Amino acid sequence: MTLTTITPNPVSLRALSHPVRVRALGLLRVEGPTTATALASRLGLNTGSTSYHLRQLALHGFIVEDTERGNGRERWWKAAHKSTLASLPAPTDASAGETYDAYLQAVAVVYVEMLQRSLEERPLLPSAWRQASTLSDWTVRVTPARARKVVDTLAKMLFSVDDEDDDEAEQFVFQLNAYPFPGHLGRDTPEGSEERE
């Protein structure tokens, strides 16, 4: 991978606003280069459908052809970046806002699927990995500015964690989900109140 992250524009983000593409990109990032046929098997799709989704990801710069692999008959694909950072669009850009929301919906679908699979596989894990895993949540009262600061701090910490040179290291998922408690936003604070930390 040549770049660590990609921040897609709204058009590119729209191309990623599909759970199959989020899954495919995630697998390429974690498991490395592969063909449409092999990826189709992992995704539970046919090769034609998988090829279409891969072409869309390539068109928007999320993946590239791996020219060092293959035999001319099958194309190999690899992720172009380690992660995607989607920027919140301006409040006045309704179309970009809808695209951003659609992308978040696709990501949420994939996160829930991954979490469910991890729970199904949990009994098979060695004890050390079971003990390292958790499902925890904290509901706290914060301002928007403080919430953003906490999210940024956690993200920065997670970006710095990578034991790729350690033989005992394995792929380990940290899902960072941070949002106002559903149904409570605005109940305690007047609309338009200023942000404070």
- Each residue's pLDDT tens digit, 167-177: 899 999 999 99
- The structural domain count of the chain equals 1
Query: Among residues 127, 115, 126, 101, which one has the least CA distance to residue 174?
Result: 115
- The per-residue pLDDT for 87 is 87
Residue 62 DSSP label = S
Q: In the sheet where 76-79 sits, what is the strand order?
A: 34-35, 76-79, 63-65
Tell me, yes or no, whether 166 lies in a domain: no
Tell me, yes or no, whether 31 lies in a domain: yes
What's the CATH number where 34 sits? 1.10.10.10
Tell me, yes or no, whether 181 lies in a domain: no
**What is the rounded CA–CA span in Å between residue 65 and residue 62?**
11
**pLDDT tens digits, one per residue of 114-157:** 999 999 999 999 999 999 999 999 999 999 999 999 999 999 99
Q: Looking at residues 6-19, what average pLDDT do you find?
A: 94
* The two three-digit tokens of residue 161, written as one number: 């964690």
Domain span at 32? 3-126
Instruction: Report yes or no: 178 and 147 within 8 Å, Cβ to Cβ.
Output: yes
pLDDT over 60 at 190, yes or no: no
Tell me, yes or no, whether 183 lies in a domain: no
* pLDDT tier for residue 161 given thresholds of 50, 70 and 90: confident
pLDDT over 60 at 95, yes or no: yes
Tell me, yes or no, whether 168 lies in a domain: no
Instruction: Report yes or no: 21 and 52 within 8 Å, Cβ to Cβ.
Output: no
- The per-residue pLDDT for 193 is 47
- The per-residue pLDDT for 42 is 95
**What is the rounded CA–CA span in Å between residue 121 and residue 144?**
36
Most distant CA pair in the chain, distance: 63
Tell me, yes or no, whether 133 lies in a domain: no
Q: What is the CA radius of gyration of the chain?
A: 19
Query: Among residues 179, 171, 103, which one has the least CA distance to residue 137?
Result: 179
**What is the rounded CA–CA span in Å between residue 194 and residue 183?**
21
**What is the rounded CA–CA span in Å between residue 176 and residue 159?**
12
- The per-residue pLDDT for 196 is 47
pTM above 0.95, yes or no: no
Helices (H), the chain: 10-15, 19-31, 36-43, 47-59, 94-121, 127-132, 144-159
pLDDT over 90 at 163, yes or no: no
Tell me, yes or no, whether 61 lies in a domain: yes
**What is the rounded CA–CA span in Å between residue 52 and residue 77?**
13
**pLDDT tens digits, one per residue of 41-84:** 999 999 999 999 999 999 999 999 999 997 778 899 999 999 99
- The per-residue pLDDT for 195 is 46
Query: Among residues 96, 100, 94, 58, which one has the least CA distance to residue 79?
Result: 58
pLDDT over 60 at 188, yes or no: no
Tell me, yes or no, whether 141 lies in a domain: no
Distance from chain centroid for Cα 51: 20
